[in-house]
Amino acid sequence: MPSLTVNVDDDLKERMEEHPEINWSEVTRQAIQEKIDALEVMDELTSESELTESDVRNIADKINERGRERIDEESA
């Protein structure tokens, strides 16, 4: 099985060391697997899309704007 090196900052390493019972390699492997699975689902869902990246950005901007408006309305 191939190896992968992951760099973490000193604070995170110290916090990880507080839990020696955890197999951090397995946690990392599972997190990578979950991310890959999610990306593959997204690839499958968008494989036949005719939207450009610009289209997606515009849609995301509109969603974010509407979300901010709703938060403002609910906060008022």
Query: For 32-55, how does the pLDDT look when each residue is reduced to its tens digit (9 = 90+)?
Result: 999 999 999 989 988 888 988 899
What distance in Å separates the CA atoms of residue 34 and residue 37, rounded to the nearest whole number?
A: 5
Task: Examine residue 34 and state whether it is found in any structural domain, yes or no.
Answer: yes
Q: Which residue has the tokens 């979950």?
A: 34
Task: Examine residue 66 and state whether it is found in any structural domain, yes or no.
Answer: yes
Q: Give residue 25's pLDDT band: very low, low, confident or very high (50, 70, 90).
A: very high
Task: Examine residue 26 and state whether it is found in any structural domain, yes or no.
Answer: yes
Write out the two tokens for 50: 């005719």
**Range of 39's domain?**
10-75
* Residue 29 confidence (pLDDT): 97
Contact in structure between 41 and 33 (CB atoms under 8 Å): no
Task: Examine residue 23 and state whether it is found in any structural domain, yes or no.
Answer: yes
The Cβ of residue 49 has, within 10 Å, a number of other Cβ atoms equal to: 9
pTM above 0.85, yes or no: no
What distance in Å separates the CA atoms of residue 37 and residue 32, rounded to the nearest whole number?
A: 9
Q: Give the total number of structural domains in the chain.
A: 1
Task: Examine residue 3 and state whether it is found in any structural domain, yes or no.
Answer: no
* Residue 53 confidence (pLDDT): 86
* Residue 62 confidence (pLDDT): 95
Task: Examine residue 17 and state whether it is found in any structural domain, yes or no.
Answer: yes
CA distances in angstroms from 74 to 38, 62, 70, listed in the order given: 32, 18, 6
Convert the pLDDT of each residue in 53-70 to its tens digit. Answer: 899 899 999 999 999 999
